[in-house]
């Protein structure tokens, strides 16, 4: 299990790439995170994490078609790999397990 530890931001990025299925590239990921979580994401942080996740084998990427909007530069689309989706699911299960293990009395009354 230890091999597949995910950082919080890594997890969010992985989830977002999943959400954007086939359309996940830099700007789109930033937009999606900012929209859903209303949290600022710097391109520097994002790109580093994307490369790291790719190195770990959780993401794969391919270059898209060139468009004029981006100064003729191609987009790099990211996709979850099988390993990536498994790690994501495991992490999710862990969280749920942990949450369920909290005794009800621990929650302060609303």
Say if residues 98 and 17 touch (Cβ distance below 8 Å).
Answer: no
47 sits near another protein (criterion: CB under 8 A): yes
CB of 57 to another protein, least distance (A): 16
27 sits near another protein (criterion: CB under 8 A): yes
**Residue 65 or residue 97: which is nearer to another protein going by CB?**
65
58 sits near another protein (criterion: CB under 8 A): no
In our burial notation (b when 16+ CB lie closer than 10 A, e otherwise), range 65-101 reads eeeeeeeeeebebbbbbeebeebbeebeeeeeeeeee
User: What 3-state class would DSSP assign to 43?
Assistant: helix
56 sits near another protein (criterion: CB under 8 A): no
Residue count at the site for another protein (CB under 8 A)? 21
Q: Which helix (H) or strand (E) holds 74?
A: strand 74-80
Which residue in 61, 12, 19 sits closest to 38, CA to CA? 12
35 sits near another protein (criterion: CB under 8 A): no
26 sits near another protein (criterion: CB under 8 A): yes
Site residues, another protein (CB under 8 A): 25-27, 30, 42-45, 47-48, 51-52, 63, 68-71, 73-76
């Amino acid at each position: 299990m230890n091999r597949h530890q995910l950082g919080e931001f890594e997890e969010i990025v992985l989830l977002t790439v999943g959400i954007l299925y086939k359309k996940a590239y830099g700007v789109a990921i930033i937009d999606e995170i900012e929209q859903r979580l209303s949290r600022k994401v710097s391109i520097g942080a994002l790109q580093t994490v994307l490369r790291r996740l790719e190195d770990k084998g959780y993401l794969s990427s391919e270059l898209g078609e060139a468009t004029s909007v981006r100064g003729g530069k191609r987009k790099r689309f990211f996709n979850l790999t099988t390993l990536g989706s498994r790690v994501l699911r495991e992490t999710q299960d862990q969280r749920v397990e942990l949450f369920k293990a909290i005794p009800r009395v621990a929650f302060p009354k609303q």
